[in-house]
Chain A
Amino acid sequence: MSGPTIELRNIEKRYGAVRALDGVSFDIGPSVTGLLGPNGAGKTTVMRMVATVLAPDRGDLRLLGRDPSSASDRVAIRRRLGYMPQEPGFYRSFTAFEFVDYVAILKEMTDRANRHDEVRRVLTAVGLEDVASRKVKALSGGMRRRLALAQALLGSPEVLVLDEPTAGLDPEQRLRFRELVSQLPGRPTVLLATHQTEDVTALCERVLVLAAGEVRFDGTPEALAGTADGRVWVGADREDGARLSWRMGDGRHRHIGDPPPGARTEPATIDDAYLLMVGDTTAREGAAA
């Protein structure tokens, strides 16, 4: 399909008195797009809407050219969608194979032999083929996370919605995840909500920064890092002008903010830019906490 597969126009969502999304708009086509933002920014609300689990209060949402508020369109969208929620649930008394097989039936894969082949394919893709016959309750947290990813990959969906897929994974598993996403067949639209800026740098062609229910940035990871150019410097001690600073392994301090005159600036990373962009939000959250 050409053109955007995910379209949001002025989306609003409230939970009681809390405004979770306030006029969010963006289009995404086939690509890997990262969604960054602090806790409570509205990332999961966006992910749930794109996964057809939640409807917006206001605004237009279109997925794969269809309207998810229509029951028939919703089913058509779900046939082409894979979703890994932030807190996936599992049938703990099932084996890993049985659980993914069950989800495969719910994805309308009714031919038993072909379905089992597909289940084996996705379990192998996430590196769980050796524990396929193990009960879910006996799997580690990282294995369960990969199991949730495996069920999302069933049927090679055109839209893949992954909410914090690398949370709880060890470094090797995270690298395997990056390899897996970068090698997905058919160039699907992948929307990846994460706190891991390294994953965004490594995987995403585009990044959206969401804070306080609004899109604060929409562009490439390089452009995001570029927003912090000239605002990162290193000094011997902590400096008052820094909005954030921390002591590095070599004993020097890395600062982000408005550098003092004469400070020697450093190349900015996506982390620096992200912290500058949402720093106020996280500071408010910290104060509130």
Chain B
Amino acid sequence: MSPTSTSPSTAWAPVRALARVEGEKLLRSPLFLAGAAFVALGSAIFVRASLTNPSATWNDDGWTVAAGTIFLAIFTMVATNHAALRDRREDTDEQHVSLPIGRSTRTGGLLLATAWPAAGAAVMVLLITAYAATRGPVTTLDNVHVADRLVAVVTLGVLGLALAAWLPSPFVAPVIAWGLLLITPGEDSQAWHVLTPFAGISDVGLALWHAVYLLGLAALLGVAAVGRTSRTRWLLVAGAVGVGATIASAAVLLTRACPGTGPCLL
């Protein structure tokens, strides 16, 4: 490439290039690293339990790792929000407006970059799951739960971007993070808790539906983030798929996982 030949080879090329830079930045972000520290802590607690108590199982004692992934997903949301608000924080809008790549492409790069923290989370969680498998049974349901948590990392990462697009204030994401912690299902779960990002469901099929629900939400939130500055047919299609997946999976979860009004979650 000569210095002046700046045309991208494809429309996706700048998105991929931005995703790489942003993804690497997210992985090194103190916020993501703080979330990762919770997963490491949860893993260490499980490993210690398994070493000191031969009867410890992934199903009974792996909840410490699952709790760590909740914090990882929430910290990822704050990290992506922080990255998306960079221009506002650093006052670089004026400079960047004069460049050929617009804001929607940059948001697209950030969307794709959420795959980096998800991949980082996957490496950590799969390592501890593999360790757990050497100590005792790891069921299909356990694996689906792990996958569901990794999808939650992506969904919350995308939520951080949508919040930055529509409510561009550094205070919003921490407030939402706190709210997500408050609605995380506990001992007194209600029916609607099945629709929260960290719901644990005691059925493989329904747990998969929960992952579909989170993916649908991620698509909707992604469309909301990019759609703030761009309207394309591609976005409409993605939005329609997101709406369909979210409504269908939410209906299945509410009617089959929680047919009554009482507690129904793990």
List residues of A whose CB falls within 8 A of some B CB.
48, 51-53, 75, 78-79, 81, 83, 85, 87-92, 98, 101-103, 105-112, 114-115, 118, 121, 148, 151, 154-157, 161, 186
Contact B21 A53 (CB under 8 A): no
Contact B94 A156 (CB under 8 A): no
Chain B residues near A157 (CB-CB < 8 A) = 4
Residues of A within 8 A of B21 (CB): 98, 101-102, 105
Closest-CB distance, B89 to chain A (whole angstroms): 9
Pair B98/A110 contact, Cβ less than 8 Å: no
**Is there an interface contact between A90 and B1, defined as CB atoms closer than 8 Å?**
no
* Residue pair A53, B98 in contact (C-beta under 8 Å): yes
CA distance A105 to B93 in the complex (A): 15
Chain B nearest CB, measured from A175 CB (Å): 24
B86 in the interface (beta carbon within 8 A)? yes
Q: How far is the CB of A164 from chain B (nearest CB, A)?
A: 14
Contact B100 A106 (CB under 8 A): yes
Residues of B bordering A, CB below 8 Å: 1, 3-4, 6-9, 13-14, 16-18, 20-21, 86-87, 90-101, 106
- Report the nearest B residue to A83, measured CB to CB: B98
With A85-B94, A91-B90: A156-B3 Cβ-Cβ less than 8 Å: yes
How far is A107 from B99 in the complex, measured between Cα atoms in Å? 6
Q: Would A89 and B3 be within 8 Å (CB), given that A106-B101, A107-B101, A110-B17 are in contact?
A: no
Residues of chain A lying within 8 A (CB to CB) of residue B16: 110
Query: Are A111 and B4 in touch, CB under 8 angstroms?
Result: no
Given known contacts A106-B106, A108-B14, A110-B13, A89 and B98 CB-to-CB distance under 8 angstroms: no
Beta-carbon contact of B98 and A105 below 8 Å = no
B residues less than 8 Å from A109 (CB atoms): 1, 6
- CB nearest neighbor in B for A185: B3
Q: Is the CB of B90 within 8 A of A53?
A: no
Give the CA-CA distance A87 to B93 in the complex, in Å. Answer: 11
Say whether A89 contacts B92, CB under 8 Å: yes
> Majority SS of interface residues in chain B?
helix
Closest chain B CB from A245 CB (angstroms): 39
A91–B86 CB distance below 8 A: yes
CB distance from B179 to the nearest CB of A (A): 27
Quote the shortest CB–CB distance from B150 to chain A (angstroms).
27
Q: What 9 new A-B contacts, CB under 8 Å, besides A88-B92, A108-B101? A: A83-B95, A89-B91, A106-B14, A106-B100, A106-B101, A108-B13, A114-B1, A155-B4, A156-B3
Instruction: Point out the residues of chain A lying under 8 angstroms from B17, CB to CB.
Output: 105, 110, 112, 115
8 CB-based A-B contacts, threshold 8 Å: A52-B98, A83-B95, A91-B92, A108-B8, A110-B9, A110-B16, A155-B3, A156-B4
Distance between Cα atoms of A111 and B7 in the complex (Å)? 10
* Separation of A118 and B4 alpha carbons in the complex (Å): 10
Given A79-B7, A91-B86, A105:B97 Cβ within 8 A: no
Check if B3 sits within 8 Å of A85, measured CB to CB.
Answer: no
Give the docked Cα–Cα distance between A106 and B13 (Å).
Answer: 11
B95 to chain A, nearest CB (A): 6
A124 to B183, CA, bound (A): 53
Given contacts A78-B100, A105-B18, A106-B101, contact A111 B1 (CB under 8 A): yes
Residues of B with C-beta under 8 A to A155:
3-4, 6
Compute how far the CA of A48 lies from the CA of B94 in the bound complex, rounded to whole angstroms: 9
Distance between Cα atoms of A151 and B96 in the complex (Å): 11
B27 to chain A, nearest CB (A): 14
